[in-house]
Every structure is written in C-alpha cells, then in structure tokens.
Amino acid sequence: MSTDLKIVAARLHRVRMPLVHEFQTSSHRKAYLDHILVELEDASGAVGWGEIASSSDPYYAPETVESCWHIASTYLLPAVLDRPWSRPGDLAGLWSKVRGNQFAKAGVDTAAWVLWAETRQLPLATALGGSRTEVVAGVSLGIEPTIDELLTQVQQQVDAGYPRVKLKIAPGWDVEPVRAVRTAYPELDLHVDANGIYGADDIQQLRKLDEHRLTMIEQPFAPRDLLTHAELQRTISTPVCLDESVETVDDLETALALGALQVLNIKVSRMGGLTPAREAHDRARDAGLPVWCGGMHEFGVGRLANVALSALPGFTLPSDVSASEKYYARDVVVPAVTAVRGVVQVPEATGLGQAVDRELIAANTVAELSLGPEQE
Ligand code: OSB
Ligand code: MG
C-alpha cells in the first residue's frame, strides 16, 4: 500500500568547505569546494537532505554549481513542490521535461530518498534494497607535483588501511608514476583514472600500462567516444572502466553492446540520483558487470548516500567512500564518516543515519534559498 507524500517546503544551501589537501586532476586544482545541500520537508515536518556535488567548473561534466542552482531553483523544486508522490522514483516523472542536468537532479532525488526512508523509519541503505552492513572503501589520489610526493600520499593511505588506491593520470604523468607505485607496492589493488584526457592516438602509450596489473583503467577517452574505449579494451587485458561516458542506463546499454567496458563506476551525481544509480546497478548485475560507487569529494550528506548505495549486492569492488577526514577537517554530518582499515559501517539509524550539523552548515553557507508556502 502506498501513502502519498508531499513536499511543502524546500531549501537550498550553498556551502563552502576547505579541503585538507589540495586535489589536482588533469583539469583543475582546488583548495575548497562549494556544494549545494538540498533540504526537503513534508507536511509532517519530516526532513530529507541531499547534496548537489557539482564541481564549480564544467571540466568533469557540463554542469557547474551556478547551473545546478539555476536548474534546481527554477525547474526541479517548483516541479515537485505540493505534488503528491509515493516513491522517490516518481519525482523523475514530475520533472520529465528537464533534459540532462544530472547533478542537480541527483541532489533532489537523494533528498527525496532520505525523506522517504525517514517517513518509513528505514535506514537509507535498507530503503534502497541494500543488505551489506559495511562497505569497503578505496581512495583516489590526485596528480602530485613529484613522484616522491605521490609515494608519500600512497604510503599515508596504505597506513590508514585502505585496500585500493586509484591514481589520476594524464599525458606526462602515467607510466612513470604507475611503475613507481607498483614497484613500491607489488600487491596493492591499484587502478588509474584519466578523466577522458587521452585520444585514439594514445592507445600505444596506454597499452604500456597493461604490464602493471592494474585493476582497471578508468575513462581514458572522451565521454562520447565509446568506440575508442571498445578498441582499447580489445587490445589490452586490463579492464576498461567507464565513468563520464555513462550518464544514463541507456548509455550503459550502448557501452555493453559495443564492448566498451568491463567495469562500471556508478556515481550518484553523474547519473542523476539514487533512483537511476540503483537501476544501473540492477542492469549491471544482470550483465555480470562488476560495479563500484564513485565519488565527487562529497560532504557528509552525499557521502552517506554513497555509503548506503554501496550496500547493494552488486557493489563488489571498493567504492570511493573514504572517510570524511581525507578531505574535510570537520564534516556536515555528526559523527563524520569514518573508516577503520578501509571499511565504513553502513548506518543503522533511519534516513541518512547520522545527524546533519545545521550550525556548521550555517557558518559555512555562502547563499541560501527557500521555496514553499511562506514565500508565495
Ligand atoms: O573521476 O572519479 C572522478 C573527483 C572529482 C571529479 C571526478 C572524479 C573525482 C574523484 C573523487 O575521483 C573521489 C572521491 O570522491 O573520493
Ligand atoms: Mg573517474
């Protein structure tokens, strides 16, 4: 039996958090991040939180914090306010005219899942259908100024107990750092992520990575270039993993049909929320494709959503759900997300499972917007 829910008020909080260690990819370097926290409230006063974890710049995906703010405030929230729904997946029907804009949708969809789980008194992981009580986390390391500094970073994460390390690579920073890390850590579960910066001409260079027993090569080529991913996969034994290429479950179908991947990074933000992320998980499971949950340096709200998603049975590879402290000195949830020897406990309390720190959010808010009855 389904009980209708109705969102009567919605708030957006643009929150700025300093990073403990600057993170550099092939396209940018950051000292702090702005993400948008989405707060949805129903008539009973129950609240669900979600996180729009877009980068500030359109380098990973086309969206930015500004574009997400615009899309959420002008299209998504007005479409769902005061409309009855019974399952979080129903929201997609309410904003079905809005194309793309997955990051903006992801924050609202996640908040709806958390609200729904709260009203049913279920932990988010259980609401999603997950049964794992703990999830294995891996860490992602940026491009460091030198190989020595990279080796120091790897040692820190190995000491912290993380069983998998991913290295960002780019032309000029690929075979050498991989060889150095592999030589120092012969047994480490190691993988690389190129964020789409290579081209078809680089296939020979990328094949040199094949001898280093990497768990996967993530997104070597541009997002829409599935054919070159398929070509690389035919000529190397290292599994190719797709990230940026898969924005929808249809993209996953195409990639499977082309043989463009052997592993899928499911990222809640990139796919438009927990609803499509769960569908991608189910489809991958049917296809025998291993998946893991990618991250966007989420604050605690998005981080806990990733932990909950990773409790689903198909997430058989370590996920980017490292402890909050890898990125933030203090996090927006209390307690912060912690990992013990690379393992994160799935919260057992209802909804997100950990309290949201409104004081810290207020202290770090750079913009705020409320939509609902009192604003009309
Ligand atoms: O490609 O996975 C990526 C961060 C920003 C943009 C793209 C990516 C990343 C990460 C983050 O690797 C990893 C994490 O959140 O722990
Ligand atoms: Mg990636």
Q: Which of 21, 24, 25 should be mutated for ligand 1, with most atoms under 8 A from CB?
A: 25
Q: Output the CA 267–ligand 1 centroid distance in Å.
A: 9
- Considering the domain architecture, whether residues 290 and 211 belong to the same structural domain is answered as yes
Q: What share of the chain is helix, strand, coil (3-state, %, to 5)?
A: 35, 25, 40
**pLDDT tens digits, 313-360:** 999 999 999 999 999 999 999 999 999 999 999 999 999 999 999 999
Q: Which of 296, 307, 317 should be mutated for ligand 1, with most atoms under 8 A from CB?
A: 296
Looking at the 3D structure of the chain, how many domains does it have? 2
Q: Output the CA 243–ligand 1 centroid distance in Å.
A: 10
Query: Does residue 23 carry a pLDDT above 80?
Result: no
State whether residue 273 is helix, strand or coil: coil
For the domain that residue 87 is a member of, what is the CATH number? Answer: 3.30.390.10
- Considering the domain architecture, whether residues 205 and 280 belong to the same structural domain is answered as yes
State whether residue 9 is helix, strand or coil: strand
> Which whole number is the average pLDDT over 30-56?
96
Which range of residues forms the domain containing residue 50? 5-121+358-375
- Considering the domain architecture, whether residues 133 and 279 belong to the same structural domain is answered as yes
**pLDDT tens digits, 170-216:** 999 999 999 999 999 999 999 999 999 999 999 999 999 999 999 99
Q: What pLDDT does residue 376 have?
A: 47
Q: How confident is the model at residue 1 (pLDDT cuts 50, 70, 90)?
A: very low
Instruction: Among the bound ligands, name the one nearest to the CA of residue 243.
Output: 2
351 belongs to a structural domain: no
Question: Distances in Å between the alpha carbon of 317 and those of 138, 156, 300, 321?
Answer: 9, 21, 21, 12
Distance of CA 271 to the CA centre of its chain: 9
Query: Does residue 86 carry a pLDDT above 70?
Result: yes
- Considering the domain architecture, whether residues 80 and 165 belong to the same structural domain is answered as no
- Considering the domain architecture, whether residues 111 and 133 belong to the same structural domain is answered as no
Q: What pTM value is reported for the model?
A: 0.96
- Considering the domain architecture, whether residues 151 and 204 belong to the same structural domain is answered as yes
User: Pairing relation of β-strands 240-242 and 217-218?
Assistant: parallel
Measured distance CA(299)–CA(327) in Å, rounded: 9
- Considering the domain architecture, whether residues 142 and 197 belong to the same structural domain is answered as yes
DSSP state of 72: I
- Considering the domain architecture, whether residues 68 and 207 belong to the same structural domain is answered as no
**pLDDT tens digits, 231-257:** 999 999 999 999 999 999 999 999 999
> Which whole number is the average pLDDT over 266-273?
98
Q: How confident is the model at residue 25 (pLDDT cuts 50, 70, 90)?
A: low
DSSP state of 369: E
353 belongs to a structural domain: no
> Which whole number is the average pLDDT over 267-277?
98
Query: What percent of the chain stands above pLDDT 70?
Result: 97
Residues 291 and 314 sit within 8 Å (Cβ to Cβ)? yes
330 belongs to a structural domain: yes
244 belongs to a structural domain: yes
- Considering the domain architecture, whether residues 25 and 83 belong to the same structural domain is answered as yes
Neighbours of ion ligand 2 (CB under 5 A): 193, 218, 243
Q: Output the CA 12–ligand 1 centroid distance in Å.
A: 23
- Considering the domain architecture, whether residues 112 and 132 belong to the same structural domain is answered as no
352 belongs to a structural domain: no
Query: What percent of the chain stands above pLDDT 90?
Result: 95
56 belongs to a structural domain: yes
Q: How confident is the model at residue 373 (pLDDT cuts 50, 70, 90)?
A: confident
For the domain that residue 246 is a member of, what is the CATH number? Answer: 3.20.20.120
Type and span of the H or E element at 117: helix 102-119
- Considering the domain architecture, whether residues 244 and 333 belong to the same structural domain is answered as yes
Q: Which residues are catalytic?
A: 168, 267
- Considering the domain architecture, whether residues 98 and 14 belong to the same structural domain is answered as yes
237 belongs to a structural domain: yes
234 belongs to a structural domain: yes
